[in-house]
Structure 1
Amino acid sequence: MSVIATEIVLPDRVEPDGLLVTRRPLPALGPGQAVVAVAASGVSFAEQQMRRGKYYDQPPFPFVPGYDLVGTVLAVGAGVEADMVGRRVAALTKIGGWSSHAVLDAADLVAVPNGLAADAAETFVVNGITAWQMLFRVAKARTGQTVLVHGANGGVGSTLVQLARSKGIQVIGTSSARHAEAVRALGATWVDYRGDVGQQVRALAPGGVDAVFDHIGGPGIADSFALLAPGGTLVSYGTASTKDDEGNSRLPVLRLLVRLLVWNALPNKRTAHFFNLWAGKRDLPRFRARIAEDLSAVFDLAARGVLRAQIGARVPLSEAGRAMRLAESRTVVGKVVLVADTES
């Protein structure tokens, strides 16, 4: 099969308008691979960091960004069941998702349920896996507990809130005032992140919260840890507060890791974790099985209407620069989704 793919290339450290729209033939299919016609991909915080050269382990420029995708299998290589052709699938890619077509390992593809639209499913791929694993595999949150979600209006944050509420977990969610009603509509108690967050949270949970999910990092991570109840868990999964800092992109993460290690060494009965979605990939079969299990669980909840897709905007793939700028504006609730130009 000869396919010319449209790709969005990140050529260097550029402003969103500096993204390039290119076309190239897809490479030949190898054994165990599949061609996927991409219907939707997302704009996550990872791509926002990548365009600044600040993502922890991004590849050298130039490359095609795109952390995840949803599409339909067009063709398969040797060793792949022929009946995969025509199936709707999702994949976690880290890079390469901002393309009209992608060649992927068939073992990395997860079935998308019937009735779940591509753009809706897309909002639950990296966001859903991240939220599910942090909430249930790391924090081991349980019915009746109370958790704090920073950035509850964002892609991961809004998914965290919904997953927690679906299991009877109380949620305090931070955001700006413009997103207060959206956060409340998800089922969280809203807290203004521009105010004294600590004071507001303590008024709601005097004994502390059972878990905090913090993508902000920086000095404020200490405030998140201080809000934990005895036995509570801090899950750090980003350093958004340092995205515009100059210097080595690895230093903010390394400083954060050192701080978490120090806290875990103290006899304070509270724990701190840095969540890395790709941890454990060296054991590839187990990693793939865990991704498929967790994403399938999230998709099932979405297909049954328990989770509602939070689509901030749908933007054609060829206008990825506009999508990036919109995602970085912090004016949307949920995720900005890139859709195939023919479907926009």
Structure 2
Amino acid sequence: MDCEQLVEIVLPGIVEPEGLQVRRAALPQPGPGQVLVAVEATGVSFAEQQMRRGRYYDQPPFPFVPGYDLVGRITATGPGTDPQLTGRRIAALTKTGGWASHVLLDPADTVPVPDGLDPAEAETAVVNGITAHQMLHRHARIRPGQTVLVHGANGGVGQLLAQLARAAGAEVIGTASARHHDALRALGVTPVDYRAGDVPAQVRRLAPGGVDAVFDHLGGRSVVDSWQLLAPGGALVAYGSATTRDDTGSKQWPVLKILARTWWWNTLPNGRRAHFFNIWAGRSLHRDRFRARLRADLTAVLDAVRRGEITAPLAARLPLTDAAEALRLAESGTVTGKVVLIP
């Protein structure tokens, strides 16, 4: 791939993965307060799966370049930007735009990646790691000896949630299909087979008094069941609506239903708490605080990966121009870990 050429993957509309387009253009130059980043790894997350269906609740109008997060090296700096940043490996949340060979960023939105981490390995822990860390420590506020339920504990966020919760001294119950149970047991997780039926009953047998926190990415009926599984003083953290991925109709409605439910539950006098996690919350009103929190949390996660305390499985590495194959693989449900694109 020509390093002097910008290569981007464009999502032109609601299409099958094969409908993604490759766009080439001249390499952009950083303007004032910008850095040019040569992308070394960018991930395929659930957000892109929703976006190609037009189902991500605040996605931009088509066409656009997907790509929620990335790891890369700063190759040039614009006027007024510290030239010593050149050569630094960074990670960044982008929401869109990451599926490219190069991106322009504000250096304040970048986080240094520790030496010794492979870019693809680091990439698996960017959006998934921040999500897991913030839900666990900033919202559920997990303490040693508590018991938590992680839905989809074999998934990208779920595996990190399970590991971080175990590192915090919590007992973890995790839902997954039976073929993932041995891997979950190896992480110290008690597995529950969601395909065996009546997940709430299975969880209650393991935690008769309820659980101290539930992390629910499923939405729909699952959110109600999760709330009812909480022990007194427990916390529900909802962070998606995966069960509505293939639905039609309003893309906002599934999220609005969860928001309405969490608002109502928080008015009840039972000491339990409910949150809908949005990784971008507060960014528009408190940008400096948002950036400081992001930097602190992602640094903690990447340091834990570097020390080997947690692992974020890498399902596959594929060339950026094979984004269609990567997206189809991620959507197949046949792989464990994150699919990563390498420009």
Q: Partner of 2:186 in structure 1?
A: 185
Q: Partner of 1:302 in structure 2?
A: 305
Shift of 1:219: 1.5
Q: Partner of 1:174 in structure 2?
A: 175
**Counterpart residue identity of residue 276, structure 1:** N
Cα distance in structure 1, aligned partners of 2:221 and 2:168: 31
Q: Partner of 2:238 in structure 1?
A: 236
Structure 1, unaligned stretches of length 5 or more? Answer: none
Cα distance in structure 2, aligned partners of 1:77 and 1:101: 15
Q: Partner of 1:268 in structure 2?
A: 270
Of residues 326, 330, 335, the one that matches 2:333 is 330
Shift of 1:205: 1.0
Cα distance in structure 1, aligned partners of 2:188 and 2:324: 33
Q: Please tell me whether the aligned partners of residues 26 and 102 of structure 1 are also in contact (alpha carbons under 8 angstroms).
A: no
Shift of 1:19: 0.7
Cα distance in structure 2, aligned partners of 1:45 and 1:185: 25
Q: Please tell me whether the aligned partners of residues 33 and 80 of structure 1 are also in contact (alpha carbons under 8 angstroms).
A: yes
Of residues 271, 290, 293, the one that matches 1:290 is 293
Identity %: 64
**Counterpart residue identity of residue 22, structure 1:** R
Cα distance in structure 2, aligned partners of 1:179 and 1:327: 16
Cα distance in structure 2, aligned partners of 1:139 and 1:279: 16
Q: Please tell me whether the aligned partners of residues 6 and 28 of structure 2 are also in contact (alpha carbons under 8 angstroms).
A: no
Structure 1 SS opposite 2:266:
helix
Q: Partner of 1:320 in structure 2?
A: 323
Shift of 1:3: 3.6
Q: Does 1:85 align with 2:92?
A: no
Q: Partner of 2:72 in structure 1?
A: 71
Q: Please tell me whether the aligned partners of residues 182 and 333 of structure 1 are also in contact (alpha carbons under 8 angstroms).
A: no
**Counterpart residue identity of residue 164, structure 1:** A
Structure 2 SS opposite 1:97:
coil
Kindly provide the CA deviation profile for residues 27-71 of structure 1, in whole angstroms up to 9, marking residues without a partner as x.
Answer: 331111111111101111100000000101000000000000001
Of residues 203, 206, 213, the one that matches 2:205 is 203
Cα distance in structure 2, aligned partners of 1:321 and 1:103: 24
Cα distance in structure 2, aligned partners of 1:179 and 1:22: 38
Shift of 1:186: 2.4
Q: Please tell me whether the aligned partners of residues 32 and 107 of structure 1 are also in contact (alpha carbons under 8 angstroms).
A: no
Kindly provide the CA deviation profile for residues 289-344 of structure 1, in whole angstroms up to 9, marking residues without a partner as x.
Answer: 1100000000111111101121111111111111111111111111111112xxxx
Shift of 1:187: 2.2
Superposition TM-score, scaled by structure 1 size: 0.96
Q: Partner of 1:121 in structure 2?
A: 122
**Counterpart residue identity of residue 283, structure 2:** K
Structure 1 SS opposite 2:169:
coil
Kindly provide the CA deviation profile for residues 63-106 of structure 1, in whole angstroms up to 9, marking residues without a partner as x.
Answer: 00000000111011122221111111100000000001111111
Structure 1 SS opposite 2:24:
strand
Q: Partner of 1:142 in structure 2?
A: 143
Q: Please tell me whether the aligned partners of residues 33 and 79 of structure 2 are also in contact (alpha carbons under 8 angstroms).
A: yes
Q: Does 1:53 align with 2:54?
A: yes
Q: Partner of 1:13 in structure 2?
A: 14
Structure 2, unaligned stretches of length 5 or more? Answer: none
Cα distance in structure 2, aligned partners of 1:212 and 1:164: 11
Change (3 A) 1:34 1:67: same
Q: Please tell me whether the aligned partners of residues 26 and 103 of structure 1 are also in contact (alpha carbons under 8 angstroms).
A: no
Cα distance in structure 2, aligned partners of 1:26 and 1:67: 21
Shift of 1:244: 1.0
Shift of 1:260: 1.4
Cα distance in structure 2, aligned partners of 1:38 and 1:4: 13
Superposition TM-score, scaled by structure 2 size: 0.97
Cα distance in structure 2, aligned partners of 1:260 and 1:297: 29
Cα distance in structure 1, aligned partners of 2:184 and 2:42: 24
Cα distance in structure 2, aligned partners of 1:185 and 1:47: 30
Q: Does 1:278 align with 2:280?
A: yes
Structure 2 SS opposite 1:73:
strand
Q: Partner of 1:153 in structure 2?
A: 154
